[in-house]
Structure 1
Amino acid sequence: MATLTQAMKDMIGAQLSFLSTVDEAGNPQVGPKGTMRVLDDTHLIYNEQTGKQAWHNLHENGKAAVATVDHAALKGFRFEGTVEGFHDNDQIYEDAKAYAAERHLPAVIAAVVISIDRIYMLDAGPHAGDIVEGDPKPTDHFTH
């Protein structure tokens, strides 16, 4: 499990994040998640509001990647992990409903909690794609 730094938490809180998933056939899907936020040092959470592609894909395989970028600063991070839970009848769900109500957002189907396994740098320049923390995947060892 990888741990978020304060800078990462601040960026997630200030910027729009995009969630990437993959379906059963390996087709990618990506979309903005305006409710993406930090749950704790090792988990992200968002309010599922549509129950469409990402919802389906996460139920099928649980794999998720979240990209958050501060375009003006040319800095960003990709957080890869797995869904730890779909909350629709507990305190996490109640907190998600309150989060939505306070911000006048659509109704919540469930709160989705993602456990962070790996963190990659998305800064512009030679370190883009470098792993920051977590167990690397085999593809992290490619050389050019």
Structure 2
Amino acid sequence: MELDQKVDENGVLHILDLIRTSIVFAFQPFEPSSRNDQNCLWWFAEKEEKIEPEIQEIPAATALSEAGVKFERGSDNNLMNIKFEDGVLTIPELAVAELTEPLFRNLIAFEQCYHGRSQQITSYAVFMDKLINSDKDIKLLSKKKS
């Protein structure tokens, strides 16, 4: 589905909504065939609303690495396409620039204010915040593929 079709289908509430839609529109939820074969972010966002609230901490990248999890850079540009399969956590690359943080803060605020919109950007930010707790986590996640 093209972005203009998605915008026409849902309407745009604000310029932030247009930016948000351009980030998440290609993200198509699917039913995982197993717990190990799924898009982690979608599962995380969906479970949050369907089950009783329960604190489930996501370990930092270095702790996951020490536990045997491998990290790979995703091959597409869809930030929402985070996957965990066969002990490998695949995360698309995010180019961080001066305006990345304020943009994400505004997108999160937008999602929190408009309850009719999905919480995909918020889920992405929470997931990455839990995954990155130190410089070691950043170095581990930003390593080039061997």
Identify whether the pair has TM-score above 0.5, normalized to the shorter chain.
Answer: no
- Normalised to the residue count of structure 2, the TM-score between the two structures is 0.27
Decide which structure has greater strand share.
1
From the CA coordinates, give the structure whose radius of gyration is larger.
2
